[in-house]
Amino acid sequence: MSLRPPAGFISANFDPLKNPDAPTIGTATGGNTSASVAFTAPANVGGSAISAYYAVSNPDRITVSGATSPISVTGLTNGTPYTFSVWALNTYGPGPFSSASGSVTPAAPTGVFGGGFDGATRVNVIQYVVITTTGNATDFGDLTIINANLAGCASSSRGVYGGGTGPINVIQYITIATVGNATDFGDLITATSTLAAANNSTRGVFFGGSSGGTIEYITIATTGNAANFGTIPFGTDQLSGCCSPTRSVFSCGVVSGSSSNTLNFITTATTGNATDFGDLSNEVQLTAACSSSTRGIFAGGLTAGGGINTIEFITIASAGNATDFGDLIEAVDGFAGCSSTTRGVFGGGLRRSDFARLNVIQYITIASAGNATDFGDLTVGLNTLGACSNVNGGLA
């Protein structure tokens, strides 16, 4: 990029001694054909107040103005890496560009399902859907190993899967905008399966599982081993999790050999022990969960009486019991959920009436209570799979 903005922004009052300094670039976050570009205003605004800031993409030099940070840059091409610089304008003309942001790759709201059990063996299949449309899942690539009973979390660009049948301590990741095989990320502290995961925009948290009451976390952008986060009030597995940008909420699944209706939560950015949130209406295990930035959804699962089709919701910011939302297409357990900021998608599962592994994908509109609707099909019928998305409640 050139050192200064286009000449068209230079007015008759132009005075380089009174122009603003460059803003300090912050973090760029990719969206669907868009990016949010954060920055800090310069300490020296020049000879008059700053009237506007401009974010410019590289490549394509797409330029968007804004009054404050962040600036949303639209019209980008999904799958293309971009960096961004920001400059400021006052009465006396434009200031210089900031340094470039880190690279981000815009992508459609994508849900990625990994692993699972097809009734005969565990699989390493990874498949994806575009959450804002309906249709069948498409092959993405392969996990590093065949695996089931794993948990997934994600940032806006990277999906991470941890744990699984064995139990194992493997953590692996994918770049969501680019189809391909998973890559080794690091290890959990403890080998575990039937665990849950949630995230904020930068941190993934793995919660409980067959190993008991541990909570571990990773920084999603940085490969490496998990670190200790805290503990759960009691050991729990066969659970599920959802998240807002600040808080993660987990169902407790199985406690001391029996299904539980207990919900617990953590503040995702702050290590510490889990705290009681409230209760689901059923004592249930093997549920699936998803979320918007404000509302968490828990669906289906296995009770003492068999599989259920119940969908319930919570307001993540306010501790309390879950409320009825609607029904799944049919009773199912051991399935997986992912979401955009508006839509929740559930894939696969086990139908207890005939022990069939389902390839059904179904969806809900998270803000509007109601029954689930058919979305399409997975590439193969599976249960005990994991899922994540690049635009979920922790990223909104």
pLDDT per residue over 202-260, tens digit each? 999 999 999 888 999 999 999 999 999 999 987 788 999 999 999 999 999 998 889 99
Q: Where are the domains of the chain?
A: 7-94, 110-389
DSSP secondary structure code for residue 201 in this structure: S
pLDDT attached to residue 395: 62
Average the pLDDT over 44-66 and give the result. Answer: 96
Spatial separation of the C-alpha atoms in residues 30 and 78, rounded to whole Å: 9
pTM: 0.87
Name the residue among 369, 376, 268 with its Cα closest to residue 317.
Answer: 268
Average the pLDDT over 66-70 and give the result. Answer: 97
CATH fold label, 7-94: Immunoglobulin-like (2.60.40)
**pLDDT surpassing 80 at residue 363:** yes
Cβ atoms of residues 328 and 119 within 8 Å: no
- Tell whether omega for the bond before 81 is within 30 degrees of 0, i.e. cis: no
> 7 by DSSP, 3-state: which?
helix
Spatial separation of the C-alpha atoms in residues 368 and 221, rounded to whole Å: 33
Cβ atoms of residues 350 and 332 within 8 Å: yes
Task: List Cα–Cα distances, 370 to 313, 321, 328, 364, in angstroms.
Answer: 11, 18, 9, 7
pLDDT tens for residues 119-154? 999 999 999 999 999 999 999 999 999 999 999 999
Largest CA distance in the chain: 79
DSSP secondary structure code for residue 8 in this structure: G
Cβ atoms of residues 362 and 372 within 8 Å: yes
Q: Between 389 and 7, name the one with better pLDDT.
A: 389
pLDDT tens for residues 260-307? 999 999 999 999 999 999 999 999 999 999 999 999 999 999 999 999
* Residue 183: strand pairing partners: 173
Q: Among 26-35, 67-76, 242-251, which is the least confidently predicted range?
A: 26-35
**pLDDT surpassing 80 at residue 86:** yes
CATH number of 110-389: 2.120.10.80
